[in-house]
Amino acid sequence: MVNARRLAFVAVGSSMLTAISSAQVPDLLTAFDAGGRSMGAGGALNVVEADTLSSYYNPAGLGYIGQKQIGISYRNLPSSITSITGTLANPVRTSAGQRGTNAISHIGFAFPLNNNKGTLGFAYTIGGFVKDIGFGPQAGLPSDSNNTFNVTNLVETRKARADYYTIGYGRTNESQNFAWGAGLAIVHQSVQFTQTGTAPVVLPDASASETGVGGLVGIQFTPKSSPNQSWGLSYRTPINMKDSSGLYGQIPGRLMLGTSYRQDGLRGGQDFLVLGAQIQHFFDGHSSIYFDRNAQTVLGLGAEYDYSVRDEFRIPLKIGYVSLPSGGNGFASRNSFTFGLGYRPKGGDYGIDLNWGSPEGSGYDFGITASYRFK
């Protein structure tokens, strides 16, 4: 009886190789934007920023933080609803994106050391998130020549969430045109794939809670010949998850490269414009039957216009675009237009940013980020 149940489970699981490949779940498994200041500009400035998210994206940015700082981001966690028709061996899936629930997606601290010896950063950041619920009034698994097996009241759940706890250090040279950084990422990941329904076969029911450790290194620099331009480069190692379930054995490594350019002297010298471009390449991830991972390259383009109001405060206005292709079978691309605005008092120690995203055919995103610098 036990062997028969195992064979049935394997049969259902094997059929999912084909089934999953037709799904259209929005792909944020490893490329989730935690919703920082750069979110409204397509995330295009993350690798060249100097804020508490630098511990997660590029620890070199910590070197440019000269005051104690705290940052927090709160945003929606996108999800999707899938309609399943046909059979389990050959299903037809139609997915629609949803806003999902709201949660704190980042909280970080930066502490400059005495005597200009660099800055330490500590952060919690959500770096990957997928939640898809599928419903099928009826689906069947062919088990013999008569195709007699049927599943009714099918509910399929696929979830994955990666929480990163990062420690980073960054330092600049004396001329402040070059910074380097390094860090450690401890990842806790929960994954789940289940199917429930009325059936004479064993439906998949698998979940795991995993941990892993990876390293980060990065640089930022400003060419002497172009003082208004900045470049950033960072590398995060692939992260092997310590779990025997085989649901998602290794988080891909990440290589980030980006640049920004600042144009001063606009509107009589009151305003300035920042243009940014960034590319992220994810590689060497492990695949499983439910969470397939291939190489994935994400491009972000964006602009931020800082508008000055009566020399009292600035309003950053942001626009951008993210090209986020599928990173594996069973996932769909999640390209998105982004928008944002903020508030920065002149001489103030805090800032607030509101950001929106409009994914193609997948509802909308919203995030709020606040930061405070201690005197």
pLDDT of residue 202: 62
Residue 277 has pLDDT above 70, yes or no: yes
pLDDT of residue 245: 64
Q: Between these two residues, 372 and 94, which has the higher pLDDT value? A: 372
Residues written for the chain: 375
Lowest mean pLDDT: which of 4-8, 250-254, 296-300, 342-346? 4-8
Burial track 177-196 (b if 16+ CB lie within 10 A, e otherwise): ebbbbbbebebebebbbebe
Residue 2 has pLDDT above 60, yes or no: no
Residue 4 has pLDDT above 60, yes or no: no
pLDDT band at 235 (very low <50, low <70, confident <90, very high): very high
pLDDT of residue 208: 86
pLDDT band at 62 (very low <50, low <70, confident <90, very high): very high
pLDDT of residue 155: 86
Top-level class of domain 2-373? mainly beta
Distance from C-alpha of 321 to C-alpha of 211, rounded to nearest angstrom: 32
pLDDT band at 37 (very low <50, low <70, confident <90, very high): very high
Q: Between these two residues, 59 and 158, which has the higher pLDDT value? A: 59
Residue 34 has pLDDT above 80, yes or no: yes
For the chain, domain boundaries: 2-373
Sign of CA dihedral 116, 227, 306, 265: positive
pLDDT in tens, 164-201: 999 999 999 999 999 999 999 999 999 998 888 776 66
Distance from C-alpha of 97 to C-alpha of 100, rounded to nearest angstrom: 9
pLDDT band at 10 (very low <50, low <70, confident <90, very high): very low
pLDDT band at 138 (very low <50, low <70, confident <90, very high): low
Residue 142 has pLDDT above 60, yes or no: no
Residue 366, Cβ neighbours under 10 Å: how many? 15
Average pLDDT value over all residues in the chain:
87
Lowest mean pLDDT: which of 120-124, 237-241, 303-307? 237-241
Among all chains, which residue has been given the structure tokens 């029911």? 205
Mean predicted confidence (pLDDT) in 119-130:
97
Residue 7 has pLDDT above 70, yes or no: no
Answer yes or no: are the C-beta atoms of 51 and 36 closer than 8 Å.
yes
Residue 287 has pLDDT above 60, yes or no: yes
Residue 271, Cβ neighbours under 10 Å: how many? 17
Answer yes or no: are the C-beta atoms of 19 and 136 closer than 8 Å.
no
Residue 326 has pLDDT above 80, yes or no: yes
Mean predicted confidence (pLDDT) in 332-350:
94
| Torsion region of 182: left, alpha or beta (phi above 0 gives left; psi -120 to 50 gives alpha) | beta
pLDDT band at 146 (very low <50, low <70, confident <90, very high): very low
Residue 116 has pLDDT above 80, yes or no: yes
**CA contacts within 13 A on the Cβ side of 99:** 11
For the chain, the first-to-last Cα distance in angstroms comes to 69
Report the candidate in 204, 166, 172, 153 with the shortest Cα–Cα distance to residue 61. 172
Distance from C-alpha of 127 to C-alpha of 139, rounded to nearest angstrom: 34
Residue 149 has pLDDT above 90, yes or no: no
pLDDT of residue 140: 52
pLDDT of residue 215: 98
Among all chains, which residue has been given the structure tokens 């397939």? 292
pLDDT of residue 145: 43
Answer yes or no: are the C-beta atoms of 317 and 338 closer than 8 Å.
no
Q: Between these two residues, 254 and 23, which has the higher pLDDT value? A: 254
Report the candidate in 48, 132, 141 with the shortest Cα–Cα distance to residue 91. 141
Answer yes or no: are the C-beta atoms of 335 and 323 closer than 8 Å.
yes
Report the candidate in 21, 39, 125 with the shortest Cα–Cα distance to residue 337. 39
